[in-house]
Structure 1
Amino acid sequence: MANRTSEPEKRPGFFSQIKSLFTFTREIYPWLPWAQIAMLIGGVLIGLLIGAFIPPVNVWTMVLWGVSGLMLGVLASMFLMTRLSTSAMYQKIDGMPGATGHVLSTSLGRNWQASEAPVGINPKTQDAVYRTVGRGGVVVVGEGSRGRLTRLVNDERSKAARVAHGVPVTVLYVGHGDDDVSIADLAKTIKKLPKAIDKTTMAAVIRRIDSVSQSISSLPIPKGIDPTKVRSQRPR
């Protein structure tokens, strides 16, 4: 019997993604539809106001300016929804085990490399340590209770300092304490670190750390977060 060729996975269409993004964001910001309606109306009014002062003033020019204002309102409402969807995502995953790995692996850009899986974890408490390497050096991020994270963080910091001599190692803790970094500000905080190494050194550091890192594939990964359910889909 001939093998059936697997059909390619059907990706959601543009309007389907817009609907998902809207639904996702409205759960956190119920006032979003009213704000978008106000922007659409405001855009039309601005267009009509401009058309009333720019000659020639007639029905067709007013219609064209009104449509132009409507398009401006659509763009403004889309921009607002996109910005709010990011904030909504952070609010949903805040405090969930595994949220740090999700942010590190999706929000740092090309100058940083990280994995969604932790490099150290306490299976009983789900306290975890994550690592990312970039132009700012090595960053070790603890997720969970500081007291229980001490050994895991110190082990990872010592490992990084040993194999990447001279490369700065920064330790951050995700949380809401005085010295903690909120999950919403984690990516921004890391990106603001001053550049300390070039791309060649960065690649070498990644290889060295990976070569001495113990495999944690058999360790349980925190189950508190499913990024596919909390990450808003952006229209393509």
Structure 2
Amino acid sequence: MTQITPTVPKLYLLTNDDEFELLYQKLEVALATGLIALLQVRRKQVLALPDGKLKLYEEASKIVDLARAYNVEVVINDDIELAATLGVGVHLGQQDGNIEDAKRQLAPNQVIGRTCHGDVDLVKEARNDGATYAAMGAIFASTTKPNANVISRQQLMDGCRQNVGICVIGGLTAENVSALAGLPITYVAVVGDVIDLPVTQIANRCQQWTQAFSEWKTPAV
């Protein structure tokens, strides 16, 4: 096991299924705060439409252009081909493509994430396959995935020892993220705590996240 240098995590924002114009407004506000380090385009309801793949391409193109204006990296959820077309990274669920294919199709510097739930063996596999980060969770119950299994702190600690970036996801808020202080986490992924808010509240919420991270204490695991 490799000891990991202490770091303060970065905020990783996922899109929701808001109507696109509203979502775009929210993203503009959030990205302008300078807090967001990584943005995932995840539009399940759009993709389910008859012309979903085309619509997703059109939306994702606009989101990528916006993110680039703020120097924020983007990953596409579960779609290596679309990620390659747009020149961005990808996040892969366990059943949604493999890391070798992503590495072959994407540029060498692109982010590749893998869902690993609470399974340290999946974290090791993601590391060995060359993933940029392994996503672990749910950390808490969430409105986005209310039936997701909440993992234990021990599972998360074991994942943090595997010498790969760890992304935590599931029910995280600016108030409860302090429960993870002391763990060398790379990304804290959020949906509801930022993007589900009204446009007028997002900048303030991002400031609260900035404050939460400023108080982060991270000794090596």
Please give the TM-score of this superposition, normalised by the length of structure 2: 0.24
Higher relative contact order (CA 8 A, sep 6+): 2
More strand by share: 2
More helix by share: 1
Please tell me whether Structure 1 or Structure 2 has the larger radius of gyration of its CA atoms. 1
Please give the TM-score of this superposition, normalised by the length of structure 1: 0.23
